[in-house]
């Protein structure tokens, strides 16, 4: 065999040092980056002695050279291909473009990781008006030969020449009508011959040039088309979604054709070594007799389950079972295989690690540990942390078939279905009457929160993944599709228009916050599990053993706290007190407090708010007994609690025109408008908020601190181990820290005294959410007992991006132009925000060695950001309850990665 | 003499280590921090053998101990005072509280630096019902003695007991009426005796306790009162304004009384060794015969010029002239002296460096160098850089007397007077008709800019020192008082109400942007010099020799550029292109561009803007021929060029109610509202602006770059050495820098080609105004050829303060609570913003050793910030034109300071 393997370097000698082509025997699984996943798999199978059709792989480097060469084959590549085709001819005994025994090949893309359906494949290449006759003679099957030819011409037209597939389908449909048959297999050889002629006419007409009869011209254009498909829009979108880099490029596999459509002893199939949905340990797949791979995909004929092959071709089946087991053991992972049977002979066309649903991923990993195939650590590495997200939300039943009317931002995962409601009050009313509703708004504001609580999910026309709707919905664990640009709302007519269709309030709608899809009818949903299933608990138990980082949760209500604890949270890293201010029974008092003209009136309103806060805190502290509950004092600008400025402007104008300037209704509204105007800010994000509120109005923070202490003392008297900690938001300089901490500590002491209670430790710390706080972290740590990085705000200030605006305006364009590799509100920006965090953590620890440091921005539940926090040496990450399992696994993976690196370094 | 000097440590033995009292002989000029300026001066004069009344100084440390001791004399201090009074008795041969030869003392405050009129002084202490008789007998002048007593009682009542001065004035007026005399000196001894009796009644009645007859009780209470006066409101305000720390404390001087009111051979005077207004080298001051110091201050009698003393008492005058000369030579600075002549004997009561106007400061420094008294370096150190600000603005004629109706923020210096106008269009119309107008607005917006150009000055009710009004006015060099809370505007009635008074549009008004004062009539103003006066040019020439930093200017118009150059600017560090978009002839085209539905329409509008921009750039480049002009591409969010959202909301609501929803007027307005709503942002400061605009709409930046190149080529063809540089705003990551720099460089090359011009260097650099930019400065410097720190925005993001909001909301309260020591928008925040700048500069230079680095935020003209930039090693500071002289001097002072420190370090 050795003498037919051309030394690749010699063949491509024209470009010194570049080896652009490897025969399958020359590659291996370890060369995935260069040969792509498919090429590496074919090479590995070939080396393992499995039956693989002969062929070779053009490397990803050749693809990059193609792009550098202005999308033309780089110099020397064509010669290399010709040389390898000659070897292929010799090995198969066939002739490429030869009439007697024509060599046909498939040209298949293959990137480093599988991108199913994203890039192009061309089959039956090498057929032309001459070779088709040779194929017909050789197989004695003219129908087969002409069918193969038409398939090739059709694929070439669609893939290489980018012609509309409709043209071709139309011809086939015409021909079937003419012959009076219903399905493709019934069509005669003559029929297919006529179809080919018509196809060639279409190509000549639509592309302006005749279908190439020269087989090398076919081959080179097909290779170019595959390279080109790396940068097709759908491929780019797919990479963006999956966060793959653009500079990987794709390899191209040229494989001698085998035919599954040469009769009933032929066929083609795909199979997984285990069930990719459930993880069950049994071969799972489909087989279609007398067919090529594309027939399976086309879904024209119904394939049979793989197991049935045992009856039909027991020998082939037995061989396949053996190969499947061998591959799984070889790769130590569940395999996704493609194969073809040509006249009773089995050919393996592809093998790769199979994609699987989260549930299957976990179960397969557990089983493989039990089977002794992989270690626990390997099992933990095998499951994508982010994928666990699937397990904790309702999802659309996969058996549903539906049309997607529009797609928005996948702002909060899970699916929801219900009647459209256009305002919060209606949502509350209809929900109270037992109807499931989906709140549909231009965008949401604090005023809408009660409606969001009542709704199954939220759909907005504006706002990004960290808009109010998105953040609040995620906090509540409700599905949300935000920034759906195709949505417009007519509030007067009580209708919405989505993707050109108009619906009335009350019409059913379904949203999928996991994918961003909007469907204009009610669909059946599969609910999430009510508790951690045993298999997942076992798996996460291993993660807990492996990780260094603690995982805490962000929770504002007792329900959230309980859920977080069930899912494994070891503390509450962020309990936002302002959400408690939005309750229907509290908001009027909060407004009274803000609109107070005198400190006395303000104090009275605060006094009435205190019991509410105390009860809120009590519930959360009890749910988290024995664990720290970090309560952040009031954070948002006060005007968030007042009616929107814009609404008031319109209303006062209406009242003025209707009733005149002296009317009491106008004057009262005008008074509120004035106060809102006073509080109105150009940039509220950078305005009168965070600890600035607590410094200018110390009585607000004092009330909150008293409520915390009262709640904790009450619980401890009942034997509940309540452990509150007080977190001051938005501190930027030492004096702010001193002022607020001194006030808080004094109030704690005073409240203990008032209650006649024995004092216990209540730590006072701060959120680090301003660049300045990072720079003076050493000063702050002299006063603060803990830090929590508030990376949402820190991202806003470090980058100068308003999260309310940027995700709806320039960030999408920035991602498109690759100015940004990731949305920094979703994935922590390591070079900017991360660099500041490093400074903050280092300086903080320098001043107070035992400073506890965590993160409570939304990045705390995003796997790659969790990994970064691990390298920073933080003590904990805190995320929304449903992301706790994700963070547990991500933290374990980060620790394993770190250990691996350390081991690697030790070995150097 | 040695035996009467008590070793202070021994006297205050009760508090080990603390020496709270120093006799004048024990102190010196170098002990200013401990003894205060007055105490140190008295000590220094005593040591120099000048005639100074005997006395001692209680230290500033005692004052701090007083505050630590809850505002009571700290333990041991009273005993120390008694011991020193005993020494005083021995030295003077008088007896404190004694009837025969009573010792009287003055108790005077004296902080580290002079705070004229801010703190308290008490004279004639030691008088009571007994000692007054002794004084009368001793002097043979009962009238004098009773007058002295009543003065003391009166001062005690006012200063120590804080009683209203009106009570006392009323008694004196009554008494004069009763005696039928007009002036105080005419009142008889009996009259004064009766006054004293009445005063004592007032004190008993108003304070609830009798006037203390015990002289030590008098003394201790007076000392406490002086300590207390350190924290009087006016003293705190004064310190805040002058940026003195609060923890200095004040010393107290106890000095044996001498009397200038013992007859015509007695008197009192104040004098400067040179003229404090003009700098003229001649004794300047006033003398009042037969009077105590307070009579001079009270202004009841008109003092004579100091020179007249030569005729009256040639011996005393000669001695004083000699002493004055000696003091000036001793201190090598112009002195401000107080003295008293008691029966022909001269006593020096105080000497200190005299306060002087900026003009005098410069001229005295120049003269003293010429006189060989001081070095040039010393001369440069002697003039407060900030004080030069006085020289370049109109100011209210000091001879004017007027009432201040209200005070706002001193947002842009200089005085303006004119007719009130309430909107920009009226301002333009009236100014065109030849009227001087002052634009009075709630706050200003870009729409008002044409009105601001036409107005003499701007007064707003809202906004801080960096509000739109303030920033634009400063840029234009127009006076502005912003955030005047006592101002309300009734736009319908066309009236304004200020400090309770209502004026109509057209009424005269005067504003003083240097002090923030508003006066409700027209005042005479003194105009600023039209060019740099020769004496100042000479002085700044020395500064130029001393400094390392270059001084550039921020200028948006040819006029500004010319002015900046006249004032010494070496380049333009910031030319804002957006201000050019606001011109009346351009704004409609800009709006058309923004409202365009298609890229073509946008391109057309841009094509029409190009000639305007080219002409603007041409004028500036020509004015700065030979110097770099750094042109910043478009920076602000686009909605700044559209009508305000709020206005449109009100207008559409009005149109809808008036004409219905189908009316064309409503629909057109609604269309604009929709676009504005699209562009509307929650936090425009962090929104779609800076280079983000130029990346999403590259055609805008391309137009600007073309205009720059066309202008420069046109000038060079005429032989003018135009040197533009292109500055990209708001870059936060490498890809933004690459994208914009590549586009700019490509457009530059293309435009050279279009014009058939030979290429010349046009550098492309960036503003560093985001924390992230500082962190990745090494990456940016790989592409950018220069950096300019935009510290206005960098302050906003680093601290999380919106300058539009914070200065009007929490910053004032923060300054009051000492959370902030300075307004960070006025004085660069070194620990936060400065620390990030240091990182940015270091990383930038690490990547590109010759990287040019400057600053173009408003801090670039603030002396202490300039000093910081010098230590950072920046190449230049850039500031508004009128601040160029300030920056030149500040840069020189910074270099001298650095050199001094280096020298100090070398000597260690």
pLDDT in tens, B334-344: 999 999 999 89
Q: Is A856 a catalytic residue?
A: yes
Mind telling me how many Å the CA of B175 is from chain A's nearest CA? 47
At B492 the pLDDT is: 85
- In this predicted model, what pLDDT tens digit does every residue of B261-275 receive, in sequence order? 888 899 999 899 998
- In this predicted model, what pLDDT tens digit does every residue of A168-212 receive, in sequence order? 989 999 999 999 988 787 889 999 999 999 999 999 999 999 999
Give how far Cα B306 sits from Cα of B269, B270, B343, B698, Å. Answer: 8, 8, 18, 72
The answer, yes or no, to whether residue A3 has pLDDT greater than 60, is no
The answer, yes or no, to whether residue B483 has pLDDT greater than 50, is yes
Calculate mean pLDDT across residues A840-865.
Answer: 96
- Test the A interface: residue of B683, B790, B816 with most A CBs within 10 Å: B683
Question: What's the mean per-residue pLDDT of chain B?
Answer: 90
- Mean pLDDT is lowest, of A90-99, A136-145, A734-743, B683-692, for A136-145
Calculate mean pLDDT across residues A325-331.
Answer: 92
Size of interface A-B (CB pairs under 8 A): 199
**pTM of the shown model:** 0.79
- How sure is the predictor about B304, in pLDDT bands with cuts at 50, 70 and 90? confident
- How sure is the predictor about A12, in pLDDT bands with cuts at 50, 70 and 90? very low
Tokens of A618: 């009590």
- Test the B interface: residue of A444, A735, A772, A831 with most B CBs within 10 Å: A772
Asked if B646 lies within 8 A of A650 by C-beta distance, the reply is no
The answer, yes or no, to whether residue B10 has pLDDT greater than 70, is no
Calculate mean pLDDT across residues B757-775.
Answer: 97
At B679 the pLDDT is: 82
> Looking at chain A, which residue has its C-alpha nearest residue B835?
A775
Exposure class string for B600-612: b at 16+ Cβ within 10 A, else e: eebeebbeebeeb
Judge whether A253 is closer than 8 Å to chain B, CB to CB: no
- In this predicted model, what pLDDT tens digit does every residue of A282-298 receive, in sequence order? 998 889 998 877 666 55
Contacts 24+ apart (CB under 8 A), B289-292: B289/B264, B290/B185, B290/B260, B290/B261, B290/B262, B290/B263, B290/B264, B290/B266, B291/B260, B291/B261, B291/B267, B292/B123, B292/B151, B292/B259, B292/B260, B292/B261, B292/B268, B292/B340
At B109 the pLDDT is: 92
**End-to-end CA, chain B:** 39
At B186 the pLDDT is: 83
Dist CA B711 CA B718 (whole Å): 11
Neighboring chain A residues of B737 at a CB cutoff of 8 Å: none
Q: Which of residues 783-842 of A touch B (CB under 8 A)?
A: 793, 796-802, 804-806, 809-810, 813-814, 817-820, 829, 831-833, 835-836
Tokens of A270: 């795909």
Judge whether A654 is closer than 8 Å to chain B, CB to CB: yes
At B292 the pLDDT is: 78
The answer, yes or no, to whether residue A634 has pLDDT greater than 90, is yes
Neighboring chain B residues of A599 at a CB cutoff of 8 Å: none
At B319 the pLDDT is: 95
At A515 the pLDDT is: 85
Mind telling me how many Å the CA of A733 is from chain B's nearest CA? 8
CB-side neighbour CA atoms (13 Å) of B639: 21
The answer, yes or no, to whether residue B78 has pLDDT greater than 90, is yes
The answer, yes or no, to whether residue A372 has pLDDT greater than 90, is yes
Calculate mean pLDDT across residues B724-750.
Answer: 97
- How sure is the predictor about B2, in pLDDT bands with cuts at 50, 70 and 90? very low
- 3-state secondary structure labels for all residues of A485-501: CCEEEECCCCEEEECCE
Calculate mean pLDDT across residues B417-437.
Answer: 91
The values of phi and psi at residue B511, to 5°, are: -120, 145
- Mean pLDDT is lowest, of A9-18, A581-590, B99-108, B166-175, for A9-18
Could you please report the per-residue DSSP string of A827-859? Answer: S--IIIIIHHHHHHHHHHHHH-TT-EEEE-SGG
Share of chain B above pLDDT 90, in %: 64
Could you please report the per-residue DSSP string of B611-652? Answer: HHHHHHHHHHHHHTTTSEEEEEPP-S-GGGGSPPHHHHHHHH
Q: Is A393 a catalytic residue?
A: no
Name the residue among B57, B77, B86 with its Cα closest to residue B15. Answer: B77
Mind telling me how many Å the CA of B817 is from chain A's nearest CA? 9
- In this predicted model, what pLDDT tens digit does every residue of A392-435 receive, in sequence order? 888 888 778 889 999 988 888 889 999 999 998 899 889 888 89
Q: Which residue has the higher pLDDT, A80 or A817?
A: A80
- In this predicted model, what pLDDT tens digit does every residue of B775-819 receive, in sequence order? 999 999 999 999 999 999 999 999 999 987 887 778 888 988 889
- In this predicted model, what pLDDT tens digit does every residue of A225-263 receive, in sequence order? 999 999 888 788 778 767 788 889 999 999 999 988 888
- In this predicted model, what pLDDT tens digit does every residue of A548-572 receive, in sequence order? 999 999 999 999 999 999 999 999 9
Calculate mean pLDDT across residues A302-315.
Answer: 87
Question: What's the mean per-residue pLDDT of chain A?
Answer: 90
At A903 the pLDDT is: 67
Residue from the list B645, B682, B696 with its beta carbon closest to the beta carbon of A684: B682
Asked if A687 lies within 8 A of B657 by C-beta distance, the reply is no
Residue from the list A645, A683, A801 with its beta carbon closest to the beta carbon of B805: A683
Asked if B771 lies within 8 A of A646 by C-beta distance, the reply is no
Q: Decide: B458 and B441 in contact? Cβ < 8 Å.
A: yes
Calculate mean pLDDT across residues B721-742.
Answer: 97
- How sure is the predictor about B515, in pLDDT bands with cuts at 50, 70 and 90? confident
Calculate mean pLDDT across residues B179-198.
Answer: 90
Dist CA A492 CA A513 (whole Å): 27
Asked if B685 lies within 8 A of A688 by C-beta distance, the reply is no
Q: Which residue has the higher pLDDT, B628 or B444?
A: B628
Name the residue among B664, B656, B898, B635 with its Cα closest to residue B767. Answer: B635
Asked if A695 lies within 8 A of B775 by C-beta distance, the reply is no
Dist CA A633 CA A621 (whole Å): 15
Asked if A800 lies within 8 A of B732 by C-beta distance, the reply is yes
Calculate mean pLDDT across residues B401-427.
Answer: 90
Tokens of B212: 């203390």
Judge whether A742 is closer than 8 Å to chain B, CB to CB: no
- What burial class does residue B809 get, using C-beta atoms within 10 Å of its C-beta: 0-12 exposed, 13-18 middle, 19+ buried? buried
At B673 the pLDDT is: 86
The answer, yes or no, to whether residue B300 has pLDDT greater than 60, is no
The answer, yes or no, to whether residue A110 has pLDDT greater than 50, is yes
Calculate mean pLDDT across residues B147-161.
Answer: 93
Mind telling me how many Å the CA of B809 is from chain A's nearest CA? 7
Dist CA B708 CA B762 (whole Å): 10
Judge whether A677 is closer than 8 Å to chain B, CB to CB: no
At B100 the pLDDT is: 87
At A449 the pLDDT is: 77
- How sure is the predictor about A13, in pLDDT bands with cuts at 50, 70 and 90? very low
The answer, yes or no, to whether residue B538 has pLDDT greater than 50, is yes
At B479 the pLDDT is: 92
Judge whether A645 is closer than 8 Å to chain B, CB to CB: yes
At B514 the pLDDT is: 85
Judge whether B681 is closer than 8 Å to chain A, CB to CB: yes
Q: Which residue has the higher pLDDT, B606 or A808?
A: B606
CA dihedral A770, A775, A777, A783 (to 10 degrees): -80
Calculate mean pLDDT across residues B334-357.
Answer: 90
At B485 the pLDDT is: 86
Prediction ipTM score = 0.79
Asked if B806 lies within 8 A of A688 by C-beta distance, the reply is yes
The answer, yes or no, to whether residue A300 has pLDDT greater than 80, is no
Neighboring chain A residues of B805 at a CB cutoff of 8 Å: 681-684, 686-688
The answer, yes or no, to whether residue B3 has pLDDT greater than 50, is no
Judge whether B766 is closer than 8 Å to chain A, CB to CB: no
Asked if B695 lies within 8 A of A739 by C-beta distance, the reply is no
The segment with the largest mean pLDDT, out of A158-162, A871-875, B285-289, is A871-875
Report angle CA B313, B319, B321 to the nearest 5 degrees. Answer: 100
């Amino acid at each position: 065999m050795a003498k037919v393997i051309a030394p690749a370097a010699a063949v491509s000698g024209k470009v010194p040092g570049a080896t652009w082509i490897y025969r399958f025997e020359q590659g291996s699984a370890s060369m995935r980056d260069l040969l792509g996943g498919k090429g590496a798999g074919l090479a590995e199978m070939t080396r393992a002695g499995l039956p693989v059709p002969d062929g070779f792989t053009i490397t990803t480097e050749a693809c990059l050279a193609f792009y550098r060469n202005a999308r033309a084959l780089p110099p020397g590549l064509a010669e290399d291909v010709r040389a390898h085709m000659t070897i292929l001819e010799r090995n198969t005994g066939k002739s490429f473009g030869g009439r007697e025994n024509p060599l046909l090949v498939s040209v298949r893309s293959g990137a480093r990781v599988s991108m199913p359906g994203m890039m192009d494949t061309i089959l039956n290449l090498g057929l032309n008006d001459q070779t088709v006759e040779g194929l017909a003679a050789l197989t004695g099957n003219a129908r087969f030969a002409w069918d193969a030819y038409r398939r090739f011409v059709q694929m070439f037209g669609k893939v290489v020449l980018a012609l509309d597939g409709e043209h071709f389908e139309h011809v086939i449909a015409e021909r079937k009508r003419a012959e009076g048959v219903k399905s493709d297999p019934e069509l005669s050889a003559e029929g297919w011959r006529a179809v080919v002629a018509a196809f060639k006419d279409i190509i000549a007409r639509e592309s302006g040039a005749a279908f190439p009869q020269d087989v090398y011209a076919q081959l080179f254009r097909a290779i170019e088309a595959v390279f080109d498909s790396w940068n097709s829009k759908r491929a780019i979108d797919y990479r963006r979604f999956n966060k793959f880099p653009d500079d990987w490029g794709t390899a191209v596999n040229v494989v001698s054709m085998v035919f599954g459509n040469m009769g009933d002893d032929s066929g083609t199939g795909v199979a997984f070594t285990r069930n990719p949905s459930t993880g069950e340990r049994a071969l799972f797949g489909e087989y279609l007799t007398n067919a090529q791979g594309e027939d399976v995909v086309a879904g024209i004929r119904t394939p049979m389950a793989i197991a049935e092959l045992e009856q039909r071709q027991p020998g082939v089946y037995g061989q396949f079972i053996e190969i499947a087991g061998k591959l799984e053991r070889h790769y130590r992972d569940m395999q996704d295989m493609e194969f073809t049977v040509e006249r009773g002979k089995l050919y393996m066309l592809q093998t790769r690690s199979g994609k699987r649903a989260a549930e299957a991923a976990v179960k397969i990993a557990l089983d493989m540990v039990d089977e002794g195939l992989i270690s626990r650590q390997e099992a933990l590495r095998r499951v994508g942390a982010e994928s666990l997200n699937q397990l904790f939300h309702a999802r659309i039943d996969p058996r549903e078939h539906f049309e997607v009317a529009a797609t928005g931002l996948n702002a909060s995962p899970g699916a929801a279905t219900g009647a459209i409601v256009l305002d919060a009050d209606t949502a509350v009313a209809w929900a109270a009457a037992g109807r499931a509703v989906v709140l549909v708004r231009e965008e949401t504001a604090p005023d809408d929160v009660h409606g969001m609580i009542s709704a199954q999910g939220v759909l907005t026309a504006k706002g990004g993944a960290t808009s109010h709707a998105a953040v609040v919905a995620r906090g509540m664990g409700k599905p949300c599709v935000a920034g759906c640009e195709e949505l417009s709302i007519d509030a007067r007519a009580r209708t919405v228009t989505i993707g050109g269709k108009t619906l009335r309030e009350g019409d059913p709608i379904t949203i999928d916050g996991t994918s961003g899809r909007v469907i204009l009818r009610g669909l059946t949903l599969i609910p999430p599990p009510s508790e951690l299933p045993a298999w997942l608990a076992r798996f996460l138990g291993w993660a807990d053993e492996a990780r260094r980082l603690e995982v805490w949760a962000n929770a504002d209500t007792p329900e959230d706290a309980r859920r977080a604890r069930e899912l494994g949270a070891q503390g509450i890293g962020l309990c936002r007190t302002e959400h408690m201010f939005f309750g229907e029974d509290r908001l009027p008092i909060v407004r009274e407090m803000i609109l107070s003209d005198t400190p006395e009136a303000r104090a009275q309103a605060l006094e009435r708010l205190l019991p509410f806060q105390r009860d809120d805190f009590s519930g959360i502290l009890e749910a988290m007994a024995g664990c720290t509950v970090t309560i952040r004092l009031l954070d948002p600008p006060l005007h968030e609690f007042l009616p929107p400025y814009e609404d008031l402007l319109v209303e006062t104008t209406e009242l003025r025109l209707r009733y005149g300037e002296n009317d009491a209704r106008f004057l009262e509204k005008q008074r509120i408008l004035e106060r809102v105007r006073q509080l109105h800010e150009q940039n509220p994000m950078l305005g009168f908020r965070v600890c600035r509120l607590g410094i200018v109005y110390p009585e607000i923070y004092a009330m909150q601190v008293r409520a915390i202490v009262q709640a904790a003392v009450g619980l401890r008297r009942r034997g509940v181990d309540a452990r509150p900690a007080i977190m001051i938001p938005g501190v930027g300089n030492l004096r702010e820290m001193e002022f607020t901490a001194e006030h808080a500590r004094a109030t704690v002491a005073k409240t203990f005294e008032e209650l006649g209670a024995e004092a216990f430790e209540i730590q006072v710390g701060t959120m680090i959410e301003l660049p300045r706080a990072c720079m003076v972290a050493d000063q702050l740590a002299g006063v603060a007992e803990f830090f929590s990085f508030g990376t949402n705000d820190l991202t806003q200030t470090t980058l100068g991006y308003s999260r309310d605006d940027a995700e709806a305006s320039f960030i999408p364009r920035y991602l498109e132009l690759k100015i940004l590799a990731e949305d920094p509100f979703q994935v922590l920006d390591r070079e900017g925000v991360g660099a500041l965090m490093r400074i903050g953590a280092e300086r903080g620890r320098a001043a107070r060695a035992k400073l506890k440091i965590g993160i409570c921005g939304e990045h705390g539940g995003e796997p790659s950001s969790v990994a970064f926090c691990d390298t920073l040496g933080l003590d904990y990450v805190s995320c929304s309850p449903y992301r706790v399992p994700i963070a547990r696994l991500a933290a374990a993976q980060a620790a394993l990665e770190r250990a691996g690196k350390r081991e690697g370094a030790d070995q150097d």
